[in-house]
Amino acid sequence: MKDDAIYLAMDQGGHASRAAVIDQHGHILTQQAQAIGTLHRSDDVIEHDPVEVVESLRVVARRAVTDLGDDARRLAGAGLATQRSNVVCWDKENGRALSPIISWQDRRGRHWLERLAGSAAQVRQRTGLILSAHYGASKLRWCLDNLEAVRAAAAGNSLAWGPMASFLVYHLLDERPLVADPVNASRTLLYNPARGGWDGDLLELFGLPAPPLPRCVPSRYPYGHLSIGDLRIPFTVLTGDQSAALFAMGRPDFDAVYVNTGTGVFLQRCSDRLADRAGLLQSVVWRDGDTEIYALEGAVNGGAGALHHEAGRLGISDMEARLPRWLEHRREPPLFLNGVGGLGSPYWVAGFASRYIGEGDAAACLVAVAESIVFLVQRNLEVFAGDGRRPGKLIISGGLAALDGLCRKLAALAGVPVFRSPNIEATLCGLGYLLAGVPIEYPRPPWQHVFEPQPDALIKNRYQRWRAAMETAVGHRSQP
C-alpha cells in the first residue's frame, strides 16, 4: 500500500447518505452529505425510495472526489457502510427496484411472525437474534405475499432480494455484483454466523426461496470497481454502520461497551468468539477470512427518533437548541416508558405503547424522553454484566453524545467513566480504518471528554422507579 494512499468511505444512514475521503492517519480530507427522505406510512410501515438512495450515494461520492482535485489519483480503495436490517427486492437483469427499501424500523410483519412463535428458540440458536419484524425475513415474506412484481420476477427467475447493502453495490459498481457481506446478511434472520452462509432450514421456516439471495462473501472482498469520471476505484469493504463505528479509533477495545447513538441507540461489546446472553443479540462485526470479531449487542430503538417524535407531538420546534439546558435544570421530570420504534432489548415487545408516568410541561416531558434513553441503556448494561465481566468504560458516539447532561446521567447510573469519542463521524472513520487494511499502528486522537461517575441519588431513584414501572408494564420479573 502506498504511503500517500487515501480512501473513499461512504455511509448510507436513515436521514442522509455521506461520503468522506480519509487518509491512512484517520484524517478526513473532505466530506459531503445528501439528505434522503423517510416515508412513515404508519408507525409500523417505514420506507425509503430506492432510486433516491442510490442517487444520493452517487452524488456524495462524486462531490467528495471532485473536492480532491488532482489528489483524486491517490484513491486506493472505496467502501460502504449501511443500515443493517433494511431490505429491498429488485430485478437482477435490469436492476429495477421491485419494492421500496423497507427500513430496519419497519414492523409490518410483526403480526405474521406471531404464528412462528414456537420456532423462536430455533431462530435464536441459528442466528443469534430474536424473532423480530425489525429483521429482514418477515419483510421479504411480506414482499412475496403482497407485491405482484416480486412474485412475477420470482417465477421468471429474475428476482434478487436481500440486504439493502447488496442492492446498493449492485447499482454502484461497474460489475453489478450479487453479493452479501456477513454483517448485513446476518440481520436477515436467514444467515447462520456459525456456518457463514444462508441457512436452508430458516428459509424453509419463513417460506422463502433461496435463489434470489445474493452470494455470501467476506467483509473484505474484491467487490468490483466504483467509476467516478475517468477513475475506477477498487471497492473492497462492505459492512454495517454500527459495525464500522467500532473501528473509529482502531481495533475495538474488548473491555469497553460502545454506545453509538442515532435514530436508535446500539450497545456493543466485542469478542473474538460468539457468545450468548438472554435478552441480547449476537452480532457479526467483521469477517475477512483471517480475522473474526463478534459482539453482544443491545438495541434501544427509541433513541434520537423518540426525541424527535415526542418533540413534534409536544410542539417543540427547536429541540436541539433547548434540550441541553433543560437536561441540566429539570430535576424532577415525569417518567417515560419508551416504546418508540418498538421496545428493544432486553424486553423485546414490538407493539409496546409509550406512556408518561406523572405530569410535566413540554420541557419536562422531553427531559423524561432523554432520561428514558439513559435508563434503557443502563438496563442493557446490567444484562451485559450478567456474567460478572463489568465493562471498564463506556465509549459513546453519535449525535446524542453531544449532550453533556445525558452523558453525566449515564456515568452516574453505570458507575464507570463515559468516554465521548473524538470522532463525530464514527462510522466513516471506522470504515476508513478498515479500508486502510486494519493497520496495527493507528493514530488515536485524545478523548473529547471523559465523564467520571458522580453521586446522583435523584437519577438513581428515578431509574429504580422507571425499571419497576417498565417491568410491570411488560410483565417481566426483575432479573440481573
Give pLDDT tens digits for 316-353. 999 999 999 999 887 789 999 999 988 999 999 988 99
* pLDDT higher than 80, residue 80: yes
For the chain, domains (ranges, CATH) are 6-241 (3.30.420.40), 300-420+451-474 (3.30.420.40)
Question: How much is the pLDDT for 445?
Answer: 67
Per-residue confidence (pLDDT) for residue 262, from 0 to 100: 86
Nearest to 266 by CA among 352, 369, 344: 344
Residue 478 has pLDDT above 50, yes or no: no
Predicted confidence band of residue 440 (pLDDT cuts 50, 70, 90): low
pLDDT tier for residue 2 given thresholds of 50, 70 and 90: low
pLDDT for position 387:
67
DSSP string for residues in 225-278: EEEETTEEEEEEEEEEHHHHHTTBTBS--TTEEEEEESSSEEEEEEESS----T
Q: How many CB atoms lie within 10 A of CB 276?
A: 11
Selection from 143, 245, 145, 128 nearest residue 192 by Cα: 128
pLDDT (average), residues 297-322: 93
Residues 169 and 224: beta-carbon distance below 8 Å: yes
pLDDT > 70 in the chain, percent: 96
Quick: pLDDT tens for 107-148: 999 999 999 999 999 999 999 999 999 999 999 999 999 999
pLDDT above 60: residue 477: no
pLDDT on residue 446: 73
pTM: 0.88
Task: Give SS3 for 144.
Answer: helix
In this prediction, residue 433 has a pLDDT band, given cuts at 50, 70 and 90, of very high
Write out pLDDT tens, residues 216-225.
Answer: 999 999 999 9
